[in-house]
Amino acid sequence: MTDTETAADSGIRARIVEAATRLLREQGVRGVTTRAVSQAAGVQAPTIYRQFGDKDGLIDAVAEHVMATYVAAKSETAATENGDPIADLRAAWQAHIDFGLANPGLYALLNNPDRAGHSPATEAGIEVLRARVRRVAAAGLLRVDEARAVAMIHAAGSGTVLALLGTTPADRDPGLSDALFDAVTAGILATAPATTDPGPTAVAVTFSTVLADLPALTDAERALMAEWLTRSLTHLRHSTTR
């Protein structure tokens, strides 16, 4: 295949994905039929099968496209002007809620357990959340380990979207999102930086964020120290649940 043919093929694929995305947003999953997409994209039905294999392949491509666009937009606004890591985390939470409510069909696809575990775009979205949580940890404001914080925020955010989508717009509680964010962060954030109000978990979490930058340590020493920190955090996590 020549470069010209490859470019043309990519253009057709992009046009099909854009048409299917538009139909999905306007009509939901049921509106994304091969006939409807081919008409909207101005291609023959066999072209869709050649490009994507089947309808499921097309739906996956649409979901990946929209999620990738969303993740890119979140990454571009990775920090607030005042550099407040908690404000950044809240902004990321609200962006997630807004996206889910604006794209219910796509959100359901992106959070389908059958595809979420192997979706590069979904993982990229979680990676953005990890970066926000890392900033909170580096500021000494996290009192659980980073993995636990990411898991709690991700689970709560997804649950919030599903709860709101399960309610008619007129009956939705406008304060539910903020209330749940506050409830989750109350369980994971320290009341003061670890440097002023030290606790073993907060100190260990904060120290782990700077471990890679410590001078005069070999890679083996850093790896050993990271293992000690991970072991300590695991022990602290288990001891608080007994």
Q: What is the DSSP string of 16-29?
A: HHHHHHHHHHHH-G
Q: The CATH number of 1-53 is which of 1.10.3470, 1.20.144, 1.10.10, 2.60.40?
A: 1.10.10
4-49 residue pLDDT tens: 546 567 889 999 999 999 998 888 878 888 999 999 999 999 999 9
214/94: higher pLDDT? 94
Distances in Å between the Cα of 40 and the Cα atoms of 5, 45, 203, 204 are 22, 11, 56, 55
Q: Which own/partner pairs from 12-15 qualify as long-range (CB within 8 Å, at least 24 positions apart)?
A: 12/41, 12/43, 12/47, 12/51, 13/51, 13/61, 15/41, 15/42, 15/43
The answer to whether residue 167 scores a pLDDT higher than 60 is yes
- Per domain, the residue ranges of the chain are 1-53, 67-239
Q: Residue 7: exposed, middle, or buried by beta-carbon count in 10 A (0-12, 13-18, 19+)?
A: exposed
What average pLDDT does range 199-206 have in this prediction? 62
95-118 residue pLDDT tens: 889 888 988 888 887 777 776 666
**pLDDT confidence of residue 192:** 59
Average pLDDT of the chain, as a whole number: 80
Residue located via tokens 């964020």: 209
What average pLDDT does range 120-134 have in this prediction? 85
Nearest Cα residue to 61 out of 42, 37, 27: 37
**pLDDT confidence of residue 26:** 86
Asked if residue 110 lies in contact with residue 119, where contact means CB atoms within 8 angstroms, the answer is yes
Residue located via tokens 């571009």: 76
Tell me if residue 189 falls in helix, strand or coil.
strand
190/178: higher pLDDT? 178
The answer to whether residue 60 scores a pLDDT higher than 70 is yes
Q: Which residues contact 14 (CB under 8 A, 6 or more apart)?
A: none
